[in-house]
Amino acid sequence: MKARPHVTLEDVARTADVSLATASRVLNGTATVRGDLRERVIAAAAELSYTPNAHAQALAGGSQPTVGVICHDVGDPYFAAIAGGIMRAASENDLLVMLASTFRDPAKEVAYVSTLRAQRASAILLIGSAFEDKAWEKAMAAELEPYRRGGGHVAAVSRHRGLKVDTVQPDNRGGGAELAKALLDLGHRRFAVLAGPKSLTTVVDRLDGFAAELLEHGVELAEDDVFEAAFTRDGGYEAMEKVLARPRKQWPTCVFAVTDVMAIGAMSALRDAGVSVPGEMSIAGFDDIPVVRDLTPALTTVALPLEKLGERAMDLAFKASPGTRPRVVKMSGEVVLRRSTAAPAR
């Protein structure tokens, strides 16, 4: 007899034609849901013989407090480093950490928050960039506000303007500006930017800071000088291929990738195309994930205290605030010039 495939909450949501968050709220009983939607979810669960994750429910009912950490991609060294800081702080306080990756899907992020509420997590930490999306802000606020009123702790890393939560904010805009200044000082005047999706606040802030500083020095970054791609190594590779597809005389002398993982992909594309770095083109990133120091050449970047971001987020989550206004902790970055950048060739 053929084994029945494992049925997930996502399967139930798809069958019922509702969002993941709605399916989670119905099956976990965390909020009132419109009658017809509730009936569709229950019917879909019955049709698929859906069984909730017993292991997760056992964790929720256990005595050890849990912290839910939601990131975009745990395979990204940026998130891994921040999560490392969180886990160190959690270990010191005998807290269990539950980690989830959304892969930059706003609906998944809301659904995971709903699930963590159902599992009675002591704290929820959002360590990925916020989305420039009013619908996402509204849905997320609808999950977080009752959770906080019920005694749950919430903190976020990066700018989350639409949510009333405590945040640890790396100075993405200021770091972008300082990097632009350093590259201008090297003599560069023709730039391209490899940007992730502009729906992410981190991308917007880093790009805006970089472009504004260039403009202050009389260098305008045109719209077609910004190449949007996935916020990944492969996205950086593909974006750099588009830069190189231009006639050589239109090539930039310097490329800024808004995250180090994109810069790594871009350097691979340059190597495969036989373009020397920094002899023919300089490249810089942002974050200072550990591996970039060991690249050949080592990557110029904006260094952020990644593990400290995670530790401070834990501090905010568990240290009560006497006021009602969300607290903001700003952490600055530092430009680190390495061998991937040099003065432009004549």
Give residue 237's pLDDT: 98
Cα 277 to Cα 344: distance, rounded to the nearest angstrom: 11
Give residue 5's pLDDT: 53
Architecture of domain 172-304: 3-Layer(aba) Sandwich (3.40)
**Which of 3.30.379.10, 3.40.50.2300, 3.20.10.10, 3.40.50.720 would CATH assign to domain 66-170+307-331?**
3.40.50.2300
pLDDT higher than threshold 90 for residue 220: yes
Q: Quickly count: other Cβ atoms within 10 Å of residue 91's Cβ.
A: 11
**pTM across the whole model:** 0.79
> Encoding tokens for residue 295?
């690249």
Cα 316 to Cα 327: distance, rounded to the nearest angstrom: 8
Give residue 55's pLDDT: 44
pLDDT higher than threshold 70 for residue 52: no
pLDDT higher than threshold 90 for residue 172: yes
pLDDT tens digits for range 106-125: 889 999 998 888 888 889 99
> Encoding tokens for residue 275?
């373009």
The CA-based diameter of the chain, rounded to the nearest angstrom, is 72
pLDDT tens digits for range 224-237: 999 999 989 999 99
The answer to whether domain 66-170+307-331 and domain 172-304 are alike in fold is yes
Q: What residues contact residue 86 under an 8 Å CB cut-off, 6+ apart? A: 67, 69, 97, 125, 127, 310, 311, 313, 314
Give residue 54's pLDDT: 44
Using a 10 angstrom Cβ sphere, with 0-12 exposed, 13-18 middle and 19 or more buried, the burial of residue 135 is exposed
pLDDT tens digits for range 189-209: 999 999 988 888 899 999 999
- Output DSSP code: residue 287: B
Q: Which residue carries 């609808």 as its tokens?
A: 142
Cα 265 to Cα 261: distance, rounded to the nearest angstrom: 7
Domain ranges of the chain: 9-60, 66-170+307-331, 172-304
CATH superfamily of 9-60: lambda repressor-like DNA-binding domains (1.10.260.40)
HEC string for 47-80: HHCCCCCHHHHHHHHCCCCEEEEEECCCCCHHHH
Helix, strand, coil percentages in the chain from 3-state DSSP, rounded to 5: 45, 15, 35
pLDDT band with cut points at 50, 70 and 90 for residue 132? confident
Contact call for residues 186 and 342 (beta carbons, < 8 A):
yes
Mean pLDDT, the chain, rounded, equals 88
Q: Which residue carries 């017809």 as its tokens?
A: 36
